[in-house]
């Protein structure tokens, strides 16, 4: 924690709600990929909102601490021993105990049932790869547990860290919903592309704020990717999960209907095995799974096709590094060209990933829809479907021109009774095009904030 920047996170408000309304009956499990700020958030909240707290990191603790959990029949004795071996004295009914990296010691997670019933303390757990089945096979998962999913910084959190004055400007533009002119639009899009280049991993944003060069920032990003690949290899010694993760940018760049696991691993595998691999990646929180739905309606979950999906990375900055990097990292010219929108190739897939990230961090699951054109080998595709009360918001992502939106037009006709709004998300300024609204990427977060989480 020492030397770590404290970023303002929207999830802090969720922790406050938990403390005020639920903490006496439930522990709070903060889930998320490694490096997204789970520990920092938990400790910051404990320091601000409690008289005292006890922090136990199960990735770096003693045998004496672990031995305390061997016997919970006498909780007076349990707390006495725990206080003695940690040299702590926390006040009952006024303190919180944090179990950090709890997936490394499942016995502590199982103990939550008894510790919550005792009522002396509140409990916050943090975990990466928390739902991997081999970590859970020998324990009883407590029902006295609420979950909070923490993602990398979203665009508003990013701006709050790097240019907080820009938030008021975007608020005003969104409220007025009028064209702002090409010059201001270009400046705001350059700000958004900075977010795409860096991403929302706190370590990376901190490096930028500390005025590190893009080459130095790239080292931070590559170290995070290496850590993820190492974790995946620990779970799957065949290397298949690692290969799937590394292939996500290249498969998205091909603009295919779905992700094909065999193309990533060069191996044939059963449908059950493929499903297990995708669920494992989803559990890791380092990827996002977007499922095709067979029948677009408000109940998207029931019509999702488990065998047809796309994969995105949970952080756009890591996507850039994985897409354009080599064993030496990403050339600084790539960053310069990305910020100035001068990369030569069609980068629709890059913008698609950042939209997926912002939708997920807003609390919505990811869904898309494809259907064949009549008397043609081609097909229509809606990039994202987001529930909004009893209807859907249909989103088509455009990296450049917005004059062709035939898929969105066809969807609005075919499923008119199901749709609340048709949206383009592009680099162009806000405008209405018939019954479609175009939002620039830098206003997408504002729009998503208005939609109820599903």
Q: In terms of domains, do 133 and 225 share one?
A: no
User: Over the stretch 93-134, which tens digit does the pLDDT of each residue have?
Assistant: 999 999 999 999 999 999 999 999 999 999 999 998 766 555
Residue 5 within a domain: no
Q: In terms of domains, do 191 and 91 share one?
A: no
CA distances from 440 to 179, 187, 191, 424, 431 (A): 10, 12, 12, 8, 9
How far is it, in rounded angstroms, from Cα 156 to Cα 9? 9
Q: In terms of domains, do 255 and 382 share one?
A: yes
- Look at residues 233, 405, 246 and name the one whose alpha carbon lies nearest to residue 321: 246
Give the range of the structural domain holding residue 85, as residue numbers without chain letter: 11-149
Contacts of 277 (CB under 8 A, 6+ apart): 236, 240, 241, 244, 261, 269
How many degrees, rounded to 5, is the angle at CA 164 between CA 333 and CA 168? Answer: 115
Q: What is the DSSP string of 255-271?
A: T-SS--HHHHHS----H
What is the sign, positive or negative, of the torsion defined by CA atoms of 396, 32, 228, 4? Answer: positive
User: Over the stretch 290-303, which tens digit does the pLDDT of each residue have?
Assistant: 999 998 988 899 89
Q: In terms of domains, do 313 and 196 share one?
A: yes
Q: In terms of domains, do 168 and 233 share one?
A: yes
Chosen domain end from 95, 129, 149: 149
Q: In terms of domains, do 145 and 171 share one?
A: no
How far is it, in rounded angstroms, from Cα 382 to Cα 384? 6
Chosen domain end from 103, 127, 149: 149
Q: In terms of domains, do 304 and 444 share one?
A: yes
pTM of the model as a whole: 0.93
Helix (H) or strand (E) holding 145: strand 145-149
79 phi and psi angles, rounded to 5 deg = -70, -35
Calculate Rg over the CA atoms of the chain: 23
User: Over the stretch 325-362, which tens digit does the pLDDT of each residue have?
Assistant: 766 667 778 888 888 888 766 788 999 999 999 999 99
Q: In terms of domains, do 286 and 396 share one?
A: yes
Residue 199 within a domain: yes
Please count the structural domains in the chain. 2
- Look at residues 85, 51, 54 and name the one whose alpha carbon lies nearest to residue 68: 85
User: Over the stretch 40-78, which tens digit does the pLDDT of each residue have?
Assistant: 999 999 999 999 999 999 999 999 999 999 999 999 999
Give the CATH number, domain containing residue 23: 3.40.50.300
Residue 403 within a domain: yes
Q: In terms of domains, do 239 and 110 share one?
A: no
Residue 99 within a domain: yes
Q: In terms of domains, do 75 and 206 share one?
A: no
Instruction: Return the pLDDT at 390.
Output: 87
Q: In terms of domains, do 56 and 159 share one?
A: no
Q: In terms of domains, do 123 and 205 share one?
A: no
Residue 200 within a domain: yes
Chosen domain end from 130, 149, 168: 149
Residue 216 within a domain: yes
DSSP code at position 377: S
Residue 2 within a domain: no
Task: Kindly give the parts of the chain with pLDDT less than 70.
Answer: 1-3, 130-138, 326-329, 344-345, 453-454
- Strand 379-382's sheet: what is its strand order? 304-313, 287-293, 366-372, 379-382
How far is it, in rounded angstroms, from Cα 419 to Cα 415? 6
DSSP code at position 84: H
Residue 274 within a domain: yes
* Torsion angle defined by CA atoms of residues 190, 194, 196 and 201, in that order, rounded to the nearest 10 degrees: -160
């Amino acid at each position: 924690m020492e030397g770590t920047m404290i970023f303002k996170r929207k999830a802090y408000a969720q922790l406050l709600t938990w403390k005020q309304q639920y903490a006496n009956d439930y522990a709070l499990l903060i889930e998320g990929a490694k490096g997204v700020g789970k520990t920092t958030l938990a400790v910051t909240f404990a320091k601000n909102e409690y008289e005292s707290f006890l922090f136990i990191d199960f990735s770096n603790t003693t045998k004496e601490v672990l031995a305390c959990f061997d016997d919970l029949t006498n909780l007076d004795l349990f707390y006495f021993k725990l206080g003695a071996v940690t040299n702590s004295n926390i006040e009952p009914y006024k303190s919180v105990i944090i179990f950090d990296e709890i997936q490394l010691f499942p016995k502590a997670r199982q103990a939550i049932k008894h510790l919550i019933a005792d009522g002396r303390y509140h409990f916050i757990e943090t975990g990466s790869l928390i739902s991997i089945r081999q970590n859970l096979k020998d324990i009883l998962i407590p029902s006295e547990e609420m979950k909070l999913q923490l993602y990398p910084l979203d665009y508003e959190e990013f701006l709050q860290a790097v240019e907080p004055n820009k938030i008021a400007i975007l608020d005003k533009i969104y409220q007025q919903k009028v064209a702002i002119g090409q010059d201001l639009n270009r400046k705001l899009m350059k700000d958004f592309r900075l977010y795409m280049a860096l991403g929302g991993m706190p370590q990376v944003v901190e490096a930028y704020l500390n005025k590190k060069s893009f080459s130095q920032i790239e080292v931070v990003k590559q170290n995070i990717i290496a850590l993820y690949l190492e974790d995946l290899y620990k779970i799957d010694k065949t290397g298949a999960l690692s290969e799937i993760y590394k292939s996500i940018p290249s498969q998205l760049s091909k603009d295919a209907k779905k992700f094909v696991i065999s193309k990533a691993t060069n191996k044939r595998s059963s449908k059950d095995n493929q499903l297990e691999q995708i669920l494992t990646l989803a559990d890791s929180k380092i990827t996002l799974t977007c499922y095709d739905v067979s029948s677009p309606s408000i109940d998207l979950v029931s019509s999702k096709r488990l065998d047809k999906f796309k994969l995105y990375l949970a952080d756009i900055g890591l996507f850039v590094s994985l897409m354009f990097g080599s064993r030496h990292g990403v050339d600084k010219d790539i960053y310069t060209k990305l910020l100035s929108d001068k990369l030569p190739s069609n980068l629709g897939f890059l913008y698609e990933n950042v939209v997926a990230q912002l939708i997920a961090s807003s609390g919505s699951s990811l869904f898309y829809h494809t259907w064949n054109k009549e008397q043609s080998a081609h097909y229509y595709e809606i990039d994202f479907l987001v529930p909004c009360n009893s209807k859907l918001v249909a989103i088509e992502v455009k990296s450049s021109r917005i004059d062709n939106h035939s898929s969105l037009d066809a969807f609005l006709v075919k499923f008119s009774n199901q749709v609340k709004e048709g949206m383009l998300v592009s680099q162009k300024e806000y405008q209405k095009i018939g019954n479609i609204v175009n939002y620039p990427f830098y206003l997408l977060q504002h729009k998503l904030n208005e939609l109820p989480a599903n």
